[in-house]
């Protein structure tokens, strides 16, 4: 992931420095406003942490090990702006003193990992975690997803930067002057390693650290969860109240489902193959389609695919029920039940994942 010198042309490097600069400036300005003079020690220590965590050998499923960048953790604990500066500082120390990542490619490395990585992981974490309490297993799941997706987005960016090199920079005979592989090779080559090993390493460290912090120091997760309910007791009480209202609303909607029978005709575009043959239906289709001429028979693809799957309750009317209204209500109950079961299954999977890490 750390791009060395010589892989990107100087102009690409300059563009990447140019792309990173506004983010660094904005992040520094924003942090100065929020943390003031604490900025210097906070960034220093967290950059040191980012550096050290990159040295961790993480045990991966299958018996191998891998290194993580820690972009997910940084964004979750400190927020994206502090994380992008701290990781940029860690990358500079790595490039300058340890030869890990190039000096000319430093802007690209920062853009891919520190800037985009932090923003993507923060966005995904916030979106997936929602307003759940700080100690909810959902946050562990969200952190894992954030780390996994962020490192893959970073890898994709690096692959694109590699992949455009042979298109833009080659000598008169066509020999590539920098990274030699085009996009069709660079993207899969980069993503294979990151979708598997590096992505899993990032997932493990992000989800694992959030799970640990939930048990040991949940307050450290508060910065990236401004709307989360901090007190577990309150969360449970307000959660129960919200849940009760939800059940009532759901029951009311189920009872009201036969209202759908009041609507005349078929929903536009949801015609069956048979309806194309019936003259009354054809007139209705034409009327609903600005009098556009309706084909004499159903499109071949519709005819072919419509026989592939027959729904157990066609048109929300189970064949064994005579009453259409009852059929509608029964379909609503069954459909809602299936969705709730799927959500419970999803939650159980998330808890299982959280417990494993």
Which residues within the stretch 80-109 sit at the binding site for other proteins (CB under 8 A)? 89-90, 92-93, 95-99, 102-104
Q: Which of 10, 9, 285 is nearest to 162 (CA)?
A: 9
Among 133, 163, 199, 208, which residue interacts with other proteins (rule: CB under 8 A)? 208
C-beta pairs of 208-216 under 8 Å, 24+ apart in sequence: 208/357, 209/73, 209/143, 210/73, 210/76, 210/139, 210/140, 210/143, 211/140, 211/354, 211/357, 213/77, 214/134, 214/135, 214/139, 214/140
In the complex, minimum distance from the CB of residue 352 to other proteins, in angstroms, rounded to a whole number: 11
Non-local (6+) Cβ contacts of 186 within 8 A are 159, 160, 162, 163, 179
Q: CA-to-CA distance for 307 and 121, rounded, in angstroms? A: 44
Among 19, 30, 39, 303, which residue interacts with other proteins (rule: CB under 8 A)? 39
Kindly state whether residue 191 participates in binding other proteins, applying the rule CB under 8 A. no
Kindly state whether residue 323 participates in binding other proteins, applying the rule CB under 8 A. no
- For other proteins, the binding residues in 218-247 under the rule CB under 8 A are 220
DSSP string, 170-203: B-TT--BSSS---HHHHHHHHHHHIIIIIHHHHH
In the complex, minimum distance from the CB of residue 176 to other proteins, in angstroms, rounded to a whole number: 4
DSSP state of 112: I
Smaller CB distance to other proteins: residue 3 or 120? 3
In the complex, minimum distance from the CB of residue 121 to other proteins, in angstroms, rounded to a whole number: 15
Kindly state whether residue 340 participates in binding other proteins, applying the rule CB under 8 A. no
In the complex, minimum distance from the CB of residue 207 to other proteins, in angstroms, rounded to a whole number: 8
- For other proteins, the binding residues in 8-37 under the rule CB under 8 A are 9-10, 13, 28, 36-37
Smaller CB distance to other proteins: residue 39 or 324? 39
- For other proteins, the binding residues in 108-137 under the rule CB under 8 A are none
Kindly state whether residue 150 participates in binding other proteins, applying the rule CB under 8 A. no
User: With contact defined as beta carbons under 8 Å apart, do 293 and 286 qualify?
Assistant: yes
Listed ranges 214-222, 224-232, 270-278, 285-293: which one lies at the site for other proteins (CB under 8 A): 214-222
Q: CA-to-CA distance for 345 and 338, rounded, in angstroms? A: 10
């Amino acid at each position: 992931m750390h791009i060395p010198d010589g892989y990107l042309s100087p102009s690409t490097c300059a563009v990447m420095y140019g792309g990173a600069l506004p983010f660094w400036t904005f992040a520094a300005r924003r942090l100065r406003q929020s943390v003031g003079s604490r900025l210097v020690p906070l960034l220093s220590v967290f950059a040191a942490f980012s550096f050290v965590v990159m040295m961790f050998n993480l045990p991966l499923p299958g018996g191998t090990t891998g290194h993580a960048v820690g972009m997910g953790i940084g964004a979750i604990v400190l927020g994206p702006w502090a994380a992008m500066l701290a990781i940029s500082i860690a990358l500079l120390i790595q490039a300058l003193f340890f030869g890990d990542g190039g000096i000319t490619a430093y802007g690209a490395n920062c853009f891919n990992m520190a800037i985009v990585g932090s923003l993507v992981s923060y966005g995904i974490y916030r979106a997936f975690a929602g307003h759940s309490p700080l100690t909810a297993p959902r946050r562990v799941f969200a952190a894992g997803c954030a780390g996994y997706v962020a490192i893959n987005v970073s890898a994709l960016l690096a692959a694109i930067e590699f992949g455009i090199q042979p298109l833009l920079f080659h000598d008169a005979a066509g020999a590539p002057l920098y990274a030699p592989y085009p996009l069709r090779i660079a993207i899969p080559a980069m993503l294979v390693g990151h979708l598997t090993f590096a992505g899993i390493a990032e997932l493990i460290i992000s989800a694992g650290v959030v799970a640990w912090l939930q048990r040991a120091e949940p307050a450290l997760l508060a910065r990236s969860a401004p709307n989360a309910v901090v007190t577990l007791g309150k969360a449970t009480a307000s959660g129960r109240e919200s849940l009760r209202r939800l059940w009532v609303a759901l029951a009311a909607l189920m009872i009201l489902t036969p209202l759908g029978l009041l609507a005349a005709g078929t929903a536009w575009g949801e015609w069956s193959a048979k309806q194309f043959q019936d003259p009354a239906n054809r007139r209705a289709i034409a009327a609903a389609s600005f009098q556009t001429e309706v084909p004499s028979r159903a499109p071949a693809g519709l005819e072919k695919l419509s026989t592939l799957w027959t729904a157990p309750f066609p048109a929300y009317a189970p064949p064994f029920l005579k009453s259409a209204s009852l059929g509608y209500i029964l379909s609503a109950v069954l459909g809602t039940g299936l969705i709730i079961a799927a959500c419970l299954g999803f939650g159980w999977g998330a808890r299982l994942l959280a417990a494993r890490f």
